A and B are shown apart, each in its own frame.
Chain A
């Protein structure tokens, strides 16, 4: 054996692999589960923690001492402490049993950012003062109060664009004394869309090609419903005064500006770059165009989006970019 640490590590993982293969019903590690997931008692596991083992040894020593000196009060104390420690298992079990994960949702993020994943748990009459969650190597602690809808946000790091499947998560607790670790594996069927990362110092927008503007204005005509709330910095001439008069706040005509100049982002035009770099640049341009609130069109090899601007357009474009097949 070269290194004991490495060998135990591989042994452990091998045992896990065997367990997953042989006892899928027991471990439930592999199969995806559809939400909501309720933690049935049969899928909750308990083992003493390291502290629990140490505490048991201490109790054994105390018991032996009390027995040896035939000292019944000391024996009584030891028995009480041992019984309380043992009962803490049941209390801890109760704080995990019947927990119900209702939904998992996440707002989209860019690769490399932290995905803010929100887990919602069903209301239950039982308070769960201390729960831990380990998901993709990220530990977090949270608590659920009784009779209130519980929500817990986890920040998961993302690496690649596309569908991010955080995989199985471990819900655990060592309530109330830290003597026992009580845990359950959940493998919710969750996929989070991860937008491509944006190129950090992208070059300015490409020059828009002719003929796009007319098409854009025609499209704008259809979209005249685009009134939006006034933001500081909007020029006064764009304020739709008549519409604003009937409304609580100032409204701004959205469409007017789109006609000005239309941007055209073409995937195939970026021949000098490799696939991922192209996607990163297009992403950077889209974000920049959104910031500048300029209309843009995204041209992909087999798809075309826009022209347009706004959240839904941006999402459609970024989603298409995120889901583009790998160039290699």
Chain B
């Protein structure tokens, strides 16, 4: 039997939603084509009942496959694979003319939805995809033959879909929690599908951070064990960049194993736990400056942390840091040379200025002060700075005078090196938003920051943040305070809401996304099983499934034990039961009217008596009248019965009557 338009449209809508979950990752031409196929087919089916011939469909599949190979260079792998799945799903719509095809298409749509979750695992997205199952189930339901023409069919189908999903919820949760997770994958590697954002880069050139600074996605979350440091002290150190080639700052040897620079603590230790979002890079973030490398990480000479493997999943680690410190009491000659090196033939004006300062003032501190004084009111802090030429520092210092942390720290370090003071650029995050509800610090990608460190005799590496000289608010109040001229949709009020909602996101990440074999093992601890084996988990799962199924079976059986009759009988039974509870059961030899008579004698002048009288009359009318009775009337009657409240007890009524 050919699908009718309604059925086809629902199936097409389900397929479209499944593809929509992939759209952001698909190339534009494919996305546009796929999105257009469904409405086109809906329209063309209405015009002609002719199916699309295989002579068109088979070449289309070939075109799809070759287009994907041309576009991605491959047909395997997650990106081309998902594109292919989306394409095949849409092409399946072209041949879905029978219930059988439509069912296959819907099953495939479910698979495509699932694969979308392999890419993105945020709570909002997962919830949306799960909710779209309602449409999928409704479409499956719509494929059932409908012998009776009904109104509001879509509503009833969606209701069935939602009801099934709701009924299945306990079962789904039990299965989700107790299906044993694999401790190692059966094939492939799990990070093939990691949802990594580009975080900080180990290469910094003017303007390279712009994308990061407008990215509001979370970078890391920090839970402190003791006091939370103030915003101005929250410098998260990620990378130290030593080498300047005239345009960008890089570091090439960050893996070289050397003993870290010495740290002399001058303040209290801060202990905290960081949850780092996946970055697909190996470096970790810690508060300036970390004392020890956590497990499975190493500390570089300049006290940054890096992991043995790339951070391709959410990563949690505990660190101890000290916020007031003296770093690197001595500097090796080789390091000193490196910290003073500047490329030949770049930024002559900056060089001249620094040399002039050096000749005027002897003191390193005085030169530093002169440089910081340079960043005065003439400089503006902006996230959309003008482009810079070959001599980027010269252009920035003397012409454009507009930029953000990257420009300031870069210019400052070049100035220092020109003046003969060892200096380096440090990148990381600064600030963050304290979430009082979740009791953690949320640091977003937009909190990315770059600052400088200079080495001074007797003081070691000293942190200098030239951005603070230009824009103190950036450091005191955080990155959001600097963004006034942004569009409304990224306005601070929205960010504020998103900051607060991050509690839920964090909870989601910790409980759902990060749920793994390890956590599952400790799941049965309340039952006295400290280290649950797969066997225990499966046993628990079976017990829970059995319980749920028994409950479901009882639900079905209970309905099987109904006393028969229709809704009118059921409503009448309800009324009689209520009256019986009040001490007035109906006798077997009584009809409704006799029953009413007896109640009247018993209750006398009770205020609800007229209501009851009316109800009984109405029942008699509905039950015994010859004319046909509308279902709506019965429903209205049943509602009135439910609302009817008989007097508390007969005894009190008698008291009232006397």
Interface residues of A (CB under 8 A from B): 40-41, 51, 54-55, 58, 61-88, 90-91, 93-94, 97-98, 100, 122-126, 129-132, 141-143, 145-148, 174-178
Closest CB-CB distance, B221 to chain A, in whole Å? 18
Q: A80-B169, A146-B567 are in contact. Are A130 and B147 (CB under 8 A)?
A: yes
- Bound Cα distance from A5 to B580, whole angstroms: 64
A143 CB contact (under 8 Å) in B115, B137, B148, B187: B148
In contact, B140 and A90 (Cβ under 8 angstroms): no
- Bound Cα distance from A129 to B152, whole angstroms: 13
| Least CB separation from B189: chain A residue | A69
Does B24 lie at the interface of the complex (its beta carbon under 8 Å from any beta carbon of A)? no
Q: Which residues of B contact A174 (CB under 8 A)?
A: 144
B557 CB contact (under 8 Å) in A41, A67, A126, A145: A41
**12 further A-B pairs in the complex, CB-CB below 8 A; given A78-B114, A79-B171, A132-B145:** A51-B100, A62-B114, A66-B114, A67-B181, A68-B188, A70-B516, A73-B512, A74-B118, A80-B165, A143-B147, A146-B566, A147-B567
- Bound Cα distance from A91 to B552, whole angstroms: 10
Q: Is the interface of A mostly helix, strand, loop or mixed?
A: helix
In contact, A81 and B110 (Cβ under 8 angstroms): yes
Instruction: Give how many B residues have a beta carbon under 8 Å from the other chain's beta carbons.
Output: 75
In contact, A68 and B185 (Cβ under 8 angstroms): yes
- Scoring B141, B165, B188 by chain A CB atoms within 10 A of each residue's CB, the highest score goes to B141
Q: A62-B114, A178-B140 are in contact. Are A124 and B566 (CB under 8 A)?
A: yes
In contact, A51 and B182 (Cβ under 8 angstroms): no
Closest CB-CB distance, B95 to chain A, in whole Å? 17
Interface residues of B (CB under 8 A from A): 99-100, 103-104, 107, 110-111, 113-115, 117-118, 121, 125-126, 129-130, 133, 136-137, 140-141, 143-148, 150, 156, 160-161, 163-165, 167-173, 175-176, 179, 181-182, 185-188, 190, 192-193, 512-516, 552-553, 555-557, 559-560, 562, 564-568, 570, 631, 634
Q: Which residues of B contact A130 (CB under 8 A)?
A: 144-147
Q: Which residues of A contact B125 (CB under 8 A)?
A: 73
Closest CB-CB distance, B11 to chain A, in whole Å? 13
- 6 A-B pairs with C-beta separation under 8 A: A51-B103, A73-B126, A76-B512, A90-B552, A93-B556, A124-B565
- Bound Cα distance from A130 to B144, whole angstroms: 8
In contact, A91 and B160 (Cβ under 8 angstroms): yes
| Least CB separation from A74: chain B residue | B117
In contact, B147 and A79 (Cβ under 8 angstroms): no
Closest CB-CB distance, A284 to chain B, in whole Å? 38
In contact, B566 and A147 (Cβ under 8 angstroms): yes
Q: Which residues of A contact B169 (CB under 8 A)?
A: 80, 83
| Least CB separation from A70: chain B residue | B190
Closest CB-CB distance, A302 to chain B, in whole Å? 46
In contact, A75 and B168 (Cβ under 8 angstroms): no
In contact, B167 and A90 (Cβ under 8 angstroms): yes
Q: A67-B179, A88-B164 are in contact. Are A80 and B141 (CB under 8 A)?
A: no
Closest CB-CB distance, B119 to chain A, in whole Å? 10
- Bound Cα distance from A90 to B168, whole angstroms: 11
Q: Which residues of A contact B182 (CB under 8 A)?
A: 67-68, 70
B559 CB contact (under 8 Å) in A62, A66, A69, A98: A98
- Bound Cα distance from A90 to B137, whole angstroms: 15
- Bound Cα distance from A64 to B110, whole angstroms: 14
Closest CB-CB distance, A157 to chain B, in whole Å? 21
| Least CB separation from B570: chain A residue | A125
- Bound Cα distance from A72 to B145, whole angstroms: 36
Closest CB-CB distance, B192 to chain A, in whole Å? 7
In contact, A69 and B146 (Cβ under 8 angstroms): no
Q: A68-B186, A87-B167, A125-B566 are in contact. Are A75 and B160 (CB under 8 A)?
A: no
